[in-house]
Structure 1
Amino acid sequence: MTIKVMTIFGTRPEAIKMAPLVIGLNEADGIESILCVTAQHREMLDQVLNLFGLKPNHDLDLMAPGQDLFDITTRCLLGLREVFRTDRPDLVLVHGDTTTCFAAGLAAFYENIPVGHVEAGLRTGNLQAPFPEEANRSLVGRITNYHFAPTSLAKNNLLAENIKEETVWVTGNTVIDALLIVRDIVENYPDGHWVNQFGKPLFERISSTNRKLILITGHRRENFGQGFIDLCSAIRELAECHPEWDLVYPVHLNPNVQKPVYEILDGLKNVNLIEPLDYEPFVWMMNQSDLILTDSGGIQEEGPALGKPVLVMREVTERPEAVDAGTVLLVGTNREKIVTAVENVMGDKAKYIAMSRAHNPYGDGLAVERIVRAISSGFLPTNSEDQWTI
C-alpha cells in the first residue's frame, strides 16, 4: 500500500528544515511524496528550493506587496482547499510556527486529512512572544495527529497539554540534517567562490585570523520599534568600542528592520550591512564567525551544531534546551545588557570555550530518517532507542 504524503511550507526557514525531509520521502519505498509551497516568502523560498533541487507539485504563490496576516491566512486556506480536493493526500506535513503552518493544518483539518507536525511542542507560554508564532504552533498542535518533537522537553510540553504520548515521536530537529548537508558542501568551495560572493575586502576581513567576526541577524516582529532601535544602538556601541572586531549584518528586507538598521548603523567602518544571504553563504558565514547575535529561532539550533556561542536578543525563547546546555544566552533587547553580554563572552576565554564546546541538544542529523521510518511503519510506537534524547 502506498501512502500519499503532502509536505507544505512557505518560508525560507521552513524550506531549509523540510527540504531534507522531502528528499527522504521522495526516496522512501511505499510513499508518494507531493510538495506544495505557499510562497509566503517568494524569493527567499526559491533560493532553498534551488539549493536542494526541489520542484513543487503545487505553488500557491501567495506573496504580495503589503500583505498582512489576514491576507496570508485566508489566501492559504482557499488555495489549499482546491489542492486537497484535487490530490486528496493521506497525510499532510507542516512545520514549526509560521502562518503557513497554521493555515495548512487548519485546511487539512477542515478536509479531515491527518496532520503531522514537524518541530512540534516548542512553547514559551506567552502568546505575545514570539507573535504570532507561539499562537500558530499552539493552535496547530490541537489539530495535529502525529507530533514530531525535536527534543524530550518539547515532548513534555505536549504531554502537559494532554496530547497522547503514543502520538509523539522525539526525532531531533531536521535543521541539523540540513545544516550538516550544506556545511559539507560549502567547505569544499575555493576561496575564489567567496571572494565573488562578498567582494575581496570583506572576504579578507572575515578570513583574517587577527580579527574577530560577529554575525548578526534580526527580524522578529515583536522587536519592531523600540526593540530594534535598542539592539541597533547596542551594535553601534560594540562596533565603536571594538574596532578590532568585524560585525556582519545581513539585513532583512522588511522595512521595519531596514529603517532603524540603516539609520543607526550605516557608515560604521567595521559594521558590514549586506543583502540577505542565500542559505549556502549564510552557513559558510556562520562557520566563519566567532559569535552569533540573533533573534532568530533556527539559529539557536544551528549555531551550537557549529560550535558557535549564540546570544539571543529576545526576552523568552521556545528553545530553552540550548540555554540549559550552555550554548545559548538570552540577552533581550536592552542595549546595556547586550553590550555587556557580548563583551563578557568575547573577553572571557574560559566562558567562550565552555559555550562553544557545550553539547548540542537539537539533534544528530538523523531526524529525517526517524520521521520517514515512523510514517512508513504506519506510525507504530517506537522504542526509546529509536528516539533522540539529550
Structure 2
Amino acid sequence: MTKVFSASGDRIMIIAGTRPELIKVAPVACQLGRYDEVRVTIVSTAQQADLLPAFLGLLDTEVDYHLGVMSAGQSLNALLSKTIAALDLVIAEVQPNLIVVQGDTTSALAGALAGRMRAIPVAHIEAGLRTGDPANPFPEETNRRLISHVASLHCAPTRRNRAELVREGIAPQDIIVTGNPVVSSLQNAIQKSQSSPDLDVLLENLKGLKPVVLTTHRRESFGTTLDRNLRTLRAFIMERPDTALVVPVHPNPMVKETVQRILSDSERVSLIEPLDYPSFVRLLQAAWLIVSDSGGVQEEVASLGKPLLVLRSVTERPEAIDAGVAKLAGEGPGQLEELLGDCDALNKWIASIKPIANPFGDAQSSARIAQAFVDFLTGQVQQTRAVQ
C-alpha cells in the first residue's frame, strides 16, 4: 500500500464497498475536492467486487486502496472481522482525522468500529433510517443502529431520520439534516447519459411494450420469497401481452441461480448483466413499472416520476410511500399477486405518477455533507486549541 497524499491538511478517509455506497459517496468526495485544506482518501473494501468497476467512473478521483475482503461462502462475522482487520492497517498508515461511512453495509459497520477503536471520529452518511425490525432488513437494520452509537457526526437525509436518532439518545447537536447525496448522483447520471449499444438494442426491442424493471438482491428475500416473487412476475407478464420484464441480474449466486431457473426461458423476459449507473437510470426512465427491494431505487423514483412496488413488508424509507410514488408489496403469499392482479387500480396508480420534489433531498445534499465534515473538523481543532 502506498500513501497518496501529503501529511498537510485535514485527512478524511471515505470507506465504500458496495455499488450503492459508491453512488452516494462519489458526489461528496467531489465536493470535498473543492477544499484546499482537505485531503481525501477513498478506500474500497470491494464487498461487491463484481459490481464496482462499472461505477468507478462516478468519481473524479481514483480509489486509493482496494481491499480484497470477499471469499466464497464466508459468514457475515468472517466478513466483518476480515474487513476490520484490513481497514485497521490502512487507518494506521493514513492516520485520518475523520472516517466517513455510508449507509448500513458490513463495510460501513467495519469502518465505524475500526475508526472508533483507533479513537478517530466517525461521520455517518444516511444516518437515522429505521424499520424498527432487526430482522428486516437483515443485517442492515442492526448495522445502522450500531453505527449510530459509534459515530460522532450524523448526516440525516430527512427530519424524520433526525427524530429517530434523537429518540435513540443521539445528541441533537451531533445531527445535521443534509438530504441524501443519491439525488446529486442521480442528476449527474441523467446529465451524463450516453449511448450504450446493448441498452440501445434492448430499449429498441421494447418499443410498443410496457417495460417492467425488476431488481432484487436482499438477503431476507432469499428462498421461498424470491421464488414466489419471480413466479408472480412471470405470470403477470404472460397474462399481459403488452408488457415485458427486464431484470439486471445481481451477481449473488443465490439470486442468479433462482432468476435463471425461473425466468430464463420465459417469453418477453430479458435477463441482463448489471448496468453502470447512468445506463441503469436510463432503464428506470424507460420503465412503465419498477419492482424492487432496493433502498436506493426507493430514493430515485420520486425524481424520475416512476411507480415502484417495494418487495418488502416494511421500509426504512417511508417518505417514498407517503409521497405516493411507491407501495409496499409485502413479503407474504398473495400480496404481490393482489397488487398486480387489480389491473384497473394498478393502471390508474401508474398513470398518476409524475416527477416530484424528491423527499430525500436535492442537488445540494452532497455539498451540505461536505461542509458538515469541514465544520466538524474545524470545531475539533478549536476544541483542541482551547484545551491546550
Matched residue SS, 1:5 = strand
Instruction: Establish whether residue 160 from structure 1 lines up as the match of residue 167 from structure 2.
Output: yes
Q: CA deviation at 1:241?
A: 0.7
1:1-390 equivalences under 5 Å are: 2-186=9-193, 189=194, 193-194=195-196, 196-198=197-199, 200=201, 202-206=202-206, 208=207, 210-334=208-332, 336-344=334-342, 348=346, 350-378=348-376
The residue matched to 2:258 in structure 1 has which SS? helix
Which string of whole-angstrom CA distances, capped at 9 and with x for unpartnered residues, describes residues 277-304 of structure 1?
2222111101111211001111000111
Shift of 1:355: 3.4
Which runs of 5 or more residues in structure 1 are unaligned?
A: 382-390
Contact 2:309 2:328 in 1 (8 A): yes
CA distance in 2, matches of 1:50, 1:373: 23
Q: Distance in 1 between matches of 2:217 and 2:376?
A: 39
List per-residue Cα deviations over 1:167-212 (Å, max 9, x = no partner).
00111101111010011111xx3xxx33x22363x33133x2x321
**CA shift at 1:151, angstroms?**
0.6
Deviation at 1:131, TM superposition (A): 0.4
SS at match of 1:44: coil
- The answer to which of 308-317 and 63-72 deviates more is 63-72
Q: Which residue of 1 aligns with 2:385?
A: none
Q: Displacement, 1:379?
A: 6.6
Q: Which letter maps to 1:290?
A: W
State the AA in 1 paired with 2:325: T
Q: Distance in 2 between matches of 1:129 and 1:334?
A: 13
Could you tell me how far apart the structure 2 residues matched to 1:144 and 1:116 are?
6
Distance 1:358 1:19, change over 3 A: closer
**Partner SS state of residue 285, structure 1:** helix
Q: Which runs of 5+ in 2 are unaligned?
A: 1-7, 380-388
2:4 corresponds to: none
In structure 1, what is the Cα distance between the partners aligned to 2:162 and 2:189?
A: 28
Q: What TM-score results when the alignment is normalised by the length of structure 2?
A: 0.91
**Could you tell me how far apart the structure 2 residues matched to 1:63 and 1:297 are?**
22
Report the counterpart of residue 383 of structure 2 in structure 1.
Answer: none
1:173 is aligned with what amino acid?
N
Retained in 1: the 8 A contact 2:55–2:277?
yes
Partner-residue secondary structure (3-state), 2:11: strand
Q: Please name the residue that 1:386 is paired with.
A: none
Distance 2:203 2:141 in 1: 38
- State whether residues 304 and 310 of structure 1, in contact with CA within 8 Å, keep that contact through their aligned partners in structure 2: no
1:135 is displaced (CA, Å) by 0.5
Please give the root-mean-square deviation of Cα atoms over the aligned residues, in Å: 1.9
| Paired residue type of 1:281 | S
SS of structure 1 residue aligned to 2:338: helix
Identity of aligned residues (%): 37
Please give the secondary structure, in 1, of the residue aligned with 2:360: coil
8 Å CA contact 1:290, 1:308 repeated in 2 = yes
Shift in Å, 1:335: 5.3
Answer whether contact 1:91 1:114 (CA < 8 A) is retained: yes
Mapped to 2, the partners of 1:279 and 1:355 lie a distance apart of: 23
Relative to structure 1, the CA distance from residue 148 to residue 303 in structure 2 (aligned partners, 3 Å threshold; closer, same or farther) is same
Q: For residue 37 of structure 1, report the CA deviation from its aligned partner.
A: 1.2
Say whether the 8 Å CA contact 1:92–1:115 is kept in structure 2: yes
More off after superposition, 124-133 vs 273-282: 273-282
Q: Deviations over 1:317-347 (max 9, x none)?
A: 1111111121110011345321332354776
SS of aligned partner of 1:356: coil
Asked whether the equivalents of residues 311 and 342 of structure 1 are also in contact (C-alpha less than 8 Å), the reply is no
C-alpha contact (below 8 Å) 2:340/2:346 kept by paired residues: no
Q: How many angstroms apart in 2 are the aligned matches of 1:233 and 1:307?
A: 27
2:104/2:144 contact within 8 Å kept: yes
Evaluate the alpha carbon distance shift between residue 90 and residue 380 of structure 1 in structure 2; reply closer, same or farther with a 3 A threshold.
closer
SS at match of 1:135: helix
Q: Which shows bigger deviation, 221-230 or 277-286?
A: 277-286
Output the CA distance in 2 between the equivalents of 1:75 and 1:2. 30
Contact kept in structure 2, 1:248 and 1:271, CA below 8 Å: yes
Q: Which moved more, 1:94-103 or 1:327-336?
A: 327-336
- Residue 63 of structure 2 aligns to a residue in which SS? coil
**What TM-score results when the alignment is normalised by the length of structure 1?**
0.91
Q: Give 1:71 deviation, angstroms.
A: 2.4
CA contact (8 A) 1:234 1:335 kept: no
Q: Is the 8 A contact 1:151 1:172 kept in 2?
A: yes
Query: CA 1:234 to 1:277, structure 2 compared with 1: closer, same or farther past 3 Å?
Result: same
Q: Determine the C-alpha separation between the residues in 2 that align with 1:76 and 1:101.
A: 10
Counterpart of 2:3 in structure 1 is: none
